[in-house]
Structure 1
């Protein structure tokens, strides 16, 4: 499968990756043949790109860290949690804890897979997909930093709940001088005695910067807990991927370059080093142009060499698809990716 802009999708294309609704249910299943109505609906709900299957790339698989069941559970639980907070009700921390346990199991089983944030977002599910992505990235970074099982559980739970203060801030009646959502999330979580106080501090500190320019307290360096420094990196990465530059979303390699420029300033240098070891700069399924002027689709990754993936070259005009070949950039040091096309 490969990723394409929603504007280029045509009726008859086959969806390559499942799209979820805001409550974790399946909106469109992978393999469904798209119709004009489906395509227009996807555009209407804010989908900008999707994965499709075609003869050349039908065997390309996305290396998934989380199972479909875990994703559904996390999105559903975060949807229910945020709705309960907005309505002033206590959220179900037990159900959330079980979903985190499933995430930890998946992450441990797929710890060698490079991070590829490829979940399709809609206007309704974006908030919950963001929480899931930040949780997954933070947990993988924590695992790479050799955190123990208890620390990973605290980190995963804190990262999943890092933005719960926004649900409180969004409620009417906050007054003329609304407080920072980090404070609101901290106060909500610290009142839950079944949760570690460190989980509450993730909500409080994830917008702090190592150089002291962050919010809400202007903490510096090691004054910021390690969990929060990890979540700050995960949060920044997922947020950057949702920003636009020159009319298109920022791509993973560009996001990582921007984050490296923040090292020792907004972001912790040590955490960034570990993050860069486990992230895919060019995820499977994207189209690229090489320095040889050939175009292709990324089909494989190398842990430790995130910028040197395996590329399946697209057949030139007039050639048969069977004539396509693959080039491993890790074994071809004179060839480089010049541009990401999708």
Structure 2
């Protein structure tokens, strides 16, 4: 499959990746033939890019850290949890715990897969996909940093619920009204949870240099769980920003994160994060320094900037074949531009 701009999609093209609704149900399934109405609806829902099933790239391996079943369960559970809180009810710690167990099982089974955030967001599911992605990325980083299972569960729980204080929060968030405070106050009263889980919500906007919120903590005063969650949170927000901010491509987001090393973000955590993230995800179109264009079709763990690129050979407008260039084997060739 191939990632394309929604504005270039034409009726009859085949959807390459499932799109979820806000409650975890399937909005559109992989393999559906897109209609004018479907394309129009996706645009109305705020979708900007989708994966299309392209015959030239049908064999591309697109491994996922989480199974579709786990994703549906996480999104559904977060939808239920947020709805319970909006209604003034208590949320189920047991249900959240089971969701975390399922997510961590997937992460541990697939820990050699590089992360790429490929699930399509809509205005309705964005909050829940954000929570899921931050949890997924934080868990994999924690695993690579050698955290034990108890620590991974605490980290994953805190990362999944890191923004829980945003529910009902005012637009201007200062002092005790900052959503980090609100999340801490909510989670610290859950007797089933370690207080460290509440501190993830409390500290994920703190910065190593003391410029963060809500308390201006520095360095070692910030818990490791919060440092890990902060990296995952900022990365996801750079890829899928809210408001009028322009989204960054994965390689641009990674460059931004590295610029924050030692100031906003912890350097050691960033080193581990960069080892597990796919800078140029499979399915993305690129232009090489040779001026050739192609689509990324393969990855090298530990060499995220040197993927395998499939270059389409054409006669006029017709594709007649392809060749593949492994950038790990051609050090003088590099990706010049990511195309959309």
What band does the TM-score fall into relative to the shorter chain? over 0.9
Find the counterpart in structure 2 of residue 323 from structure 1.
Answer: 321
Secondary structure of 2:271's counterpart equals helix
**Number of residue pairs matched?**
340
C-alpha distance in structure 1 between counterparts of 2:54 and 2:70, whole Å: 27
Runs of 4+ in 1 over 4 A off after TM superposition: 174-178, 244-248
Paired residues of 2:258 and 2:270 also in contact (CA < 8 A): yes
Change (3 A) 1:210 1:247: closer
3-state SS of 1:326 partner: strand
Contact map agreement 2:14 2:32 (CA 8 A) in 1: yes
Which residue number corresponds to residue 85 of structure 1?
85
Residues 47-87 of structure 1: per-residue CA shift (max 9 Å, x gap): 11000011111222322000001000000011111111111
Distance in 1 separating the partners of 2:328 and 2:179:
44
Question: TM-score when scaled to structure 2?
Answer: 0.96
Distance 1:175 1:309 in 2: 42
For 1:190-218, what per-residue CA distance to the aligned partner results, in whole angstroms no more than 9, with x for missing partners?
Answer: 10101111000000000000000100011
8 Å contact 2:314–2:320 — kept in the other structure?
no
Match of 1:208 in 2: 206
**Map of 1:95 onto structure 2:** 95
Tell me, yes or no, if the aligned pair for 2:184 and 2:202 is still in contact at 8 Å. Answer: yes
Could you tell me how far 1:314 is from its partner in structure 2? 1.8
Q: Using the TM superposition, give the Cα deviation of residue 315 of structure 1 relative to its aligned residue in structure 2, in angstroms.
A: 2.2
Q: Distance in 2 between matches of 1:240 and 1:12?
A: 32
Between the aligned partners of 1:147 and 1:311, the Cα distance in structure 2 is 35
Distance 1:195 1:331, change over 3 A: same
Structure 2 partner of 1:24: 24
Q: How does 1:131-280 map to 2 (within 5 A)?
A: 131-169=131-169, 179-243=177-241, 248-280=246-278
TM-score (structure 1 length as normaliser) = 0.96
What CA RMSD, in Å, does the superposition of the two structures yield over aligned residues?
Answer: 2.0
Q: Are the structure 2 counterparts of residues 177 and 143 from structure 1 closer, same or farther at C-alpha, using a change threshold of 3 Å?
A: closer
Q: What residue number does 1:58 align with? A: 58
User: Structure 2: where are the runs of 5+ without partners?
Assistant: none
Residue of structure 1 equivalent to 2:49? 49
Task: Work out whether residues 65 and 113 of structure 1, in 8 Å CA contact, stay in contact via their aligned partners in 2.
Answer: yes
Query: Distance in 1 between the 2:232 and 2:14 partners?
Result: 32
Name whichever of 243-252 and 271-280 sits farther off: 243-252
Cα distance, 1:177 vs. partner?
8.3
Q: How far is the alpha carbon of 1:93 from its aligned partner?
A: 1.4
Q: 1:308 matched to which residue of 2?
A: 306
Give, in angstroms, the shift of residue 243 of structure 1. Answer: 3.3
Q: Are the equivalent residues in 2 in contact too, given 1:13–1:34 (CA < 8 A)?
A: yes
> Unmatched 5+ residue regions in structure 1?
none
Rounded to whole Å, the distance in 2 between the matches of 1:202 and 1:41 is 36
